[in-house]
Amino acid sequence: MRHAGVPACLGCHGRQDRSPFYPSLAGQPERYIAAQLGLFRAGKRGGTRFGHLMANAAKGLTDDDIRALAAYFSRSAAPSATGTR
Protein backbone atom coordinates (compact mmCIF):
# COMPACT_ATOMS: atom_id res chain seq x y z
CA MET A 1 0.00 0.00 0.00
CA ARG A 2 1.54 3.26 -1.11
CA HIS A 3 -0.23 6.57 -1.35
CA ALA A 4 1.15 9.80 -2.75
CA GLY A 5 1.47 12.37 -0.01
CA VAL A 6 1.34 9.85 2.87
CA PRO A 7 4.68 9.53 4.64
CA ALA A 8 6.01 6.09 5.48
CA CYS A 9 5.12 5.06 9.03
CA LEU A 10 8.46 3.43 9.73
CA GLY A 11 10.36 6.64 9.00
CA CYS A 12 9.21 8.01 12.36
CA HIS A 13 7.74 5.08 14.29
CA GLY A 14 10.08 2.25 13.34
CA ARG A 15 13.50 3.69 14.08
CA GLN A 16 15.49 2.64 17.13
CA ASP A 17 16.72 6.25 17.49
CA ARG A 18 13.23 7.77 17.07
CA SER A 19 12.06 10.75 19.06
CA PRO A 20 10.02 9.91 22.16
CA PHE A 21 7.25 11.93 20.52
CA TYR A 22 7.00 9.13 17.93
CA PRO A 23 6.07 5.96 19.83
CA SER A 24 6.93 2.52 18.57
CA LEU A 25 3.90 0.90 16.95
CA ALA A 26 5.34 -2.62 16.82
CA GLY A 27 3.41 -5.01 19.00
CA GLN A 28 0.64 -2.56 19.90
CA PRO A 29 -2.85 -4.11 19.92
CA GLU A 30 -4.44 -4.13 16.48
CA ARG A 31 -7.69 -2.57 17.68
CA TYR A 32 -5.79 0.22 19.45
CA ILE A 33 -3.79 1.13 16.33
CA ALA A 34 -6.89 1.06 14.14
CA ALA A 35 -8.82 3.22 16.61
CA GLN A 36 -6.04 5.80 16.86
CA LEU A 37 -5.63 6.02 13.09
CA GLY A 38 -9.37 6.45 12.74
CA LEU A 39 -9.35 9.26 15.29
CA PHE A 40 -6.45 10.99 13.55
CA ARG A 41 -8.22 10.64 10.20
CA ALA A 42 -11.40 12.15 11.66
CA GLY A 43 -9.47 15.05 13.20
CA LYS A 44 -10.45 13.95 16.72
CA ARG A 45 -7.01 12.93 17.98
CA GLY A 46 -4.14 15.17 18.92
CA GLY A 47 -1.85 14.46 21.82
CA THR A 48 1.42 16.23 21.19
CA ARG A 49 2.56 19.20 19.21
CA PHE A 50 3.17 16.70 16.40
CA GLY A 51 -0.42 15.44 16.26
CA HIS A 52 -1.06 17.45 13.12
CA LEU A 53 1.52 15.33 11.30
CA MET A 54 -0.45 12.17 12.03
CA ALA A 55 -3.75 13.84 11.18
CA ASN A 56 -2.28 14.83 7.82
CA ALA A 57 -0.84 11.35 7.21
CA ALA A 58 -4.06 9.58 8.20
CA LYS A 59 -6.49 11.73 6.25
CA GLY A 60 -5.77 9.86 3.02
CA LEU A 61 -6.08 6.38 4.51
CA THR A 62 -9.03 4.18 3.63
CA ASP A 63 -10.66 1.79 6.11
CA ASP A 64 -8.79 -1.04 4.37
CA ASP A 65 -5.50 0.84 4.73
CA ILE A 66 -6.12 1.33 8.44
CA ARG A 67 -6.95 -2.36 8.94
CA ALA A 68 -3.82 -3.39 7.03
CA LEU A 69 -1.54 -1.04 8.97
CA ALA A 70 -3.03 -2.09 12.30
CA ALA A 71 -2.57 -5.77 11.44
CA TYR A 72 1.00 -5.24 10.26
CA PHE A 73 2.17 -3.30 13.28
CA SER A 74 0.36 -5.46 15.82
CA ARG A 75 2.20 -8.49 14.45
CA SER A 76 5.59 -6.77 14.24
CA ALA A 77 8.19 -7.36 16.89
CA ALA A 78 9.47 -4.30 18.69
CA PRO A 79 13.16 -3.60 18.00
CA SER A 80 15.46 -4.69 20.78
CA ALA A 81 17.80 -2.34 22.60
CA THR A 82 20.59 -3.46 20.28
CA GLY A 83 18.60 -2.56 17.18
CA THR A 84 18.01 -6.17 16.13
CA ARG A 85 14.73 -8.02 15.98
CA distances from 6 to 29, 55, 63 (A): 22, 11, 15
Q: At what angle do helices 30-42 and 51-58 cross, to 10 degrees?
A: 90
Quick one: pLDDT at residue 21? 83
d(CA 31, CA 16): 24
Tens of pLDDT, residue by residue, the chain (85 residues):
555 555 688 888 888 888 888 888 999 999 999 999 999 999 998 777 888 889 998 998 999 999 999 999 999 886 554 444 4
Q: At what angle do helices 30-42 and 63-75 cross, to 10 degrees?
A: 140
How many C-beta atoms lie closer than 10 Å to residue 25's C-beta?
Answer: 22
